[in-house]
Structure 1
């Protein structure tokens, strides 16, 4: 009866206890992997730990992927790279209900652990769940609800845990891994590619691949403890088809950037024919690229994001363009220094292409029409300055 009462207190979370219960021989600890969903923050799937013991009547999920939009300065902290995530604890049935509603599959991988090791891990979870311990600094690539799986296993069992790599046909960079789950020609992937710096183009280690729940799930199948498979048994709890997205091309960034290139080309042609300059077009292009560059520079230099430094997108989205935009808009005649500035801008685009070729940083293919748009206008402004 006391054990049943403890379960009720555990699930409602209204009582803090100093010592975790001792699990029985029939207890199990497992990793839950949940399918990707339709929203961006669900696009990569989800991972959580499950602790169950039929003797104690315990069946709870420890979820490191909990965040609160209502946190003070939530969006500011997100921009600054200081997102706080928390470990939550809830009943397995409550956890599963969300995925049943969204028709997302859930798979369970039961660990082959001794009773002592299971109790050790439960004690760790309960210690982590204390109010002073449950919050942690989130990093989308290095410290999230999925990567923490490998971190905890290593922390608890040390070098007895070995992440084998025989199943990986290729070791990918972080950018390549993210692109496997998002369409390159989507606004979300374009924005991520734009914000990511060159640091994400290094090859991830075997354990670092586990920042994606799908890779963590596969990695558990190829992980040993004391030379034996860590995975005891695997089963499907919810069996739904993978969510797929159909993109309507006229709503994609590539469509609009090609449209911008064609529009800029037509306007530039008529400008050339009539020996005039469409100041509103120059102002728009310079201001927008300049503001983008300022934001990228902010992400690079003024935030704690580990994925945004060394971002060479600032070579085409040049921050000084935001100032030049206002200089160019007031007078039809260009300043004497403008040809040199345009040559410099063309040179920066050329440098970006060189960095791309040598894989210093991999840029989004969607950006190519933007580069051509800017190049067309830069070349015309050089010619116009000589009229």
Structure 2
């Protein structure tokens, strides 16, 4: 008897849940796009977007967003690294959503969409269907299928009217890498890692459409968008919460340029010392070849062993050369092979080629690499001269 009673209680609870059945939005309901400003961490540096569904008559005020991690996915970290991780659509009460982002001092902007009742209902039904367990997951792509692009794509999907996204005044297309730098800076550890991991494919100019991988441009371009060339897509805009400015002075002493500069100076100092004593610090060369070789292998894996579209054609391989790992044995021997001298000359040539790539804009590299590249070049040149001078070494 208790089993049947529990069953009926659960049955009526599910039926009574406001999201368990088809809800008809009232004419006064509003659907808006929320744009969250950047946060402090690298993961939050690009902001966030969501749909807010507000219907006072139905007692609904919820936010749907794309891009939540599915921590229950098997082999989570491996799939994340391979670019094969499914992300989730989330649904939160607006009050919880607002409290979360105000607590972390992140700006919340709201743009109410100028939709008909039928379009609002269609968008709401789409989100509810998308939120079902069997539909929640999707394969995330940072540039082409993320929390911002989904807002744009869903908005286009639920209306038969033509939406035209118009560029604001003084709009100048930027490369994907520049757009990233706008959010994470040039001389930060976030940009340093990104510039090493992502290839030359992100150094092409992004179209107006492609700029909308960033929440900031969803907000800007929705603001200027037109429905059928006449009506504004956005009915009204408000700022729900404005970030309180704080002292955000960066610590240059611990920046990539400073740390890599000190490492580069260390390499140059030891090279000069070796030059004065006509000797060679074997341990230094083993470290250089070992680290550059390992980084090169990781870059190769990101390029060829993952589904990340942005890690292709990565010319960081011109300084982080994977074969450096295989030739470490030569550095340990009392007498090197002649081919190793040629290999060192090859390393010098590809460093020059990398500089050319940088100058003509094939790929932009991390500015923190500049002192390291200079130190590597001088070290390789010294090794060639040293081995030529000491032919019986």
Could you tell me the TM-score, scaled by structure 1's length? Answer: 0.93
1:322 pairs with 2:325: yes
1:326 to partner: Cα distance:
3.4
1:72 to partner: Cα distance:
2.3
Find the aligned partners of 2:294 and 2:123 in 1 and give their Cα distance.
48
Q: Show the counterpart of 2:220.
A: 218
In our comparison, the structure showing a higher alpha carbon Rg is 2
Q: Show the counterpart of 2:248.
A: 245
| Cα shift readout 1:195-239 (whole Å, capped 9, x = no counterpart) | 111111111121211111111111111111112110100011112
Q: Show the counterpart of 2:182.
A: 180
- Within a 5 Å distance, the mapping from 1:1-387 to structure 2 comes to 9-10=17-18, 16-17=20-21, 20-157=22-159, 160-167=162-169, 169-227=171-229, 228-241=231-244, 245-328=248-331, 330-387=332-389
Q: Secondary structure at the match of 1:180?
A: helix
Q: Secondary structure at the match of 1:307?
A: helix
Runs of 4+ in structure 1 deviating by more than 6 angstroms, as ranges, are 5-8
Q: Show the counterpart of 2:7.
A: none
| Cα shift readout 1:289-338 (whole Å, capped 9, x = no counterpart) | 0100000000001100010000010011000011122331x224332112
More off after superposition, 144-153 vs 155-164: 155-164
Conserved? CA contact 1:81–1:303, under 8 Å: yes
CA gap of 1:123–1:336, structure 2 versus 1, over 3 A, is: same
Q: Secondary structure at the match of 1:32?
A: strand
1:64 to partner: Cα distance:
0.8
1:154 to partner: Cα distance:
2.3
Q: Secondary structure at the match of 1:374?
A: helix
Q: How many residues align?
A: 376
Q: Secondary structure at the match of 2:174?
A: coil
Find the aligned partners of 2:146 and 2:170 in 1 and give their Cα distance.
21
Q: Secondary structure at the match of 1:157?
A: coil
Find the aligned partners of 1:311 and 1:324 in 2 and give their Cα distance.
22
Find the aligned partners of 2:286 and 2:161 in 1 and give their Cα distance.
59
Conserved? CA contact 2:201–2:310, under 8 Å: yes
Q: Secondary structure at the match of 2:66?
A: strand
What 5-or-longer segments of structure 1 have no aligned partner?
none
Find the aligned partners of 2:119 and 2:385 in 1 and give their Cα distance.
74
- RMSD between aligned residues: 1.8
1:71 to partner: Cα distance:
3.3
1:150 to partner: Cα distance:
1.5
